[in-house]
Structure 1
Amino acid sequence: MTHSRALLSMHVAALMFGLTGIFGKLIQAGPVVIVLGRALFAVAALFLFARLFTRPILRGVTRQRFLQLAMCGFFLGVHWLTFFHAVKIAGVGIGTLGFASFPAFVVILEMIFWREQPSPRDLLKVGLICIGLVLVAPAFNLSHGATTGLLWAILSGFCFAAVSVGNRLTSGHLHAVQVAFWQNIVIFACLLPFSGVALVQVDALDWLWLALLGLFCTGLAHGLFVASLTVLKARVASLFFALEPVYGILFAWYLFGEEPTIRMLLGGLLIISALALVSRAPEPA
């Protein structure tokens, strides 16, 4: 893969990740059914990707590593559930920006579990995100639907941060596609007994949205992201995470008329600035 194709792949992956909230709003089913369907199609897409690019599925998955994958899969499932719940309550824009709080939680969790002291840049990142979230919140009242949705989205960001930190346990031992495959297997197995019947009963249009969500926004997007990392440096790739809320807000504005307020735009700008700071972190030696 050339450098220009890697950049294009990253843009496409960020665009697909940004569409996640859009599909979550289009699907009429509840969050549990959405996550179950997403995991089902994601497993199929990741398995196909692994076969096409000769990536391992079983190799290196010991009992201990499977337990680590299961733990991360649990938090990934809760992240998806809370994110889609936030989108249903507060809309795509607030849900996406609330989820974008995850870098702040990564700093906190790494300080607690890995004993890594935050740098001044990390503290600045946390501060920007906190101020941004205050601006995004429409009102400090839990009876306000948008505020409740923002809190669910922040919980989603926390769970995604837990997944990111937890994945460090398997980093260097398992391929990223392999990790994503098994985590989605765990999600599917956990939710199938509760919503398997409801998933079968969704209408045809919801099946279409679920397929697009699982195949493109999860399987293909993750595959493009991983493939691009063979060419791009990590700090360059991380910058593209800042594009996810941008794409999500723009599509929600165009498709659903969710026009962002000035406060929301300012708060979003601060949060995206914090995400961009990740790209300026020095490369590991």
Structure 2
Amino acid sequence: MKKAFLQLHVAVFLAGFTAILGKLIGLGEGMLVWWRILLTVVVLAGWMFFTNKLKRVRGKDFLKIAGVGLIIALHWILFYGSIKYSTISVALVCFSATGFFTALLEPLILNKKISVVELFFGLLSIAGIYIIFDFHPQFKQGIVFGILAAVGSALFPIFNKKLLLRFEPTTLTLYELGGGLLLLTTLLPFYHQYFPASYYLPSTSDWLWLLILSVLCTVVMFILQLNALKKISAFTSNLSFNLEPLYGIIMAFLFFNEGEMLRKEFFIGLALIVLAVLLQMYMVWRASTKQNNIAVEPGIHSSEI
């Protein structure tokens, strides 16, 4: 059990570290994501081939899976664009609006009842973002990108739920990223007309960071999470991943001294968002204990990739 908890928190740390790597990589957000997905697909496909886990899917299913993969790709482009056009901390704060959009969009798409409590926690995060936006107008474009990235982050698990009932998580991830890569390749030229890329091939240092991003922070992180889920419930896993933005912000303060660049209003907004996350974690934990302490069955409900 201790090993599983260690694997889980290493996975959360690696997920938070992706934002740091987005700052270190000199490529524009479009090409950064294209190279990340390409390298991830190659490494993941190789690992699945040598472990005899590589499976085929039907062409009709692949089209649906590829559509969800495109949501992942667009989410990443918007997220890394938010970092490029503002700061890591601002991008991660905007990313925390995912809860609000999930509470709003999931009931609309899946015909479920809107949770007033979840909507309240989401609005608390939105209030924090508004405070930051109001006092940091120089980050306007980055904040817009970050909020749109949060929409993508909310849509992905909603559409992914039904697919996870039919496909094994590793297989689904491979085909989502592979399909997303194909669709992204056709769309990038149009994106670059409005947001031109400074260059298309990674520099020497970019290659190093891209390999770390693709291998450690995507494939290894995903495998660690799957291994942890053999001993730990999905409930505990999802709860732990709520800390991902906080880990990333702390690392941004340590590595890039971003705390010195931001006004006190940023920290007021951040405090509201942290409060929303903590309250949400508490409510989920309390609901879990009320159900005779029965944890959620192991399985991935949303892919933190």
What TM-score results when the alignment is normalised by the length of structure 1?
0.87
Residues in 2 aligned to 1:202 and 1:238: alpha-carbon distance in whole angstroms: 33
**Match in the other structure for 2:22:** 24
Residues in 1 aligned to 2:55 and 2:128: alpha-carbon distance in whole angstroms: 40
1:7 maps to amino acid: F
1:89 equivalent to 2:85? Answer yes
**Match in the other structure for 1:146:** 139
- Of residues 121, 126, 131 in structure 2, which corresponds to 1:125? 121
What TM-score results when the alignment is normalised by the length of structure 2?
0.82
Question: Any conservation in 1 of the 2:28–2:198 contact (CA below 8 Å)?
Answer: no
Task: Could you tell me which runs of 5 or more consecutive residues in structure 2 were left unpaired when the two chains were aligned.
Answer: 190-196, 289-294, 298-305
Residues in 1 aligned to 2:283 and 2:95: alpha-carbon distance in whole angstroms: 16
1:77 equivalent to 2:87? Answer no
- 1:198-213 superposed matches below 5 A: 201-213=201-213
**Match in the other structure for 1:172:** 165
Once the two structures are superposed, what CA deviation does each residue of 1:136-157 show, in whole Å capped at 9, x if it has no partner?
A: 33538xxx23233122111101
Identity of aligned residues (%): 24
Residues in 1 aligned to 2:134 and 2:51: alpha-carbon distance in whole angstroms: 46
TM-fit CA distance, 1:178? 1.3
| Count of aligned residue pairs for this structure pair | 277
Once the two structures are superposed, what CA deviation does each residue of 1:16-38 show, in whole Å capped at 9, x if it has no partner?
A: 11011111111111011100111
**Match in the other structure for 1:263:** 268
SS in 1 for 2:242: helix
TM-fit CA distance, 1:129? 2.2
Question: Any conservation in 2 of the 1:134–1:267 contact (CA below 8 Å)?
Answer: no
Task: Could you tell me which runs of 5 or more consecutive residues in structure 1 were left unpaired when the two chains were aligned.
Answer: none
Once the two structures are superposed, what CA deviation does each residue of 1:230-256 show, in whole Å capped at 9, x if it has no partner?
A: 221121111111221111111111111
- 1:29-48 superposed matches below 5 A: 29-48=27-46
Residues in 1 aligned to 2:142 and 2:225: alpha-carbon distance in whole angstroms: 28
Residues in 2 aligned to 1:156 and 1:108: alpha-carbon distance in whole angstroms: 15
Question: Any conservation in 1 of the 2:104–2:119 contact (CA below 8 Å)?
Answer: no
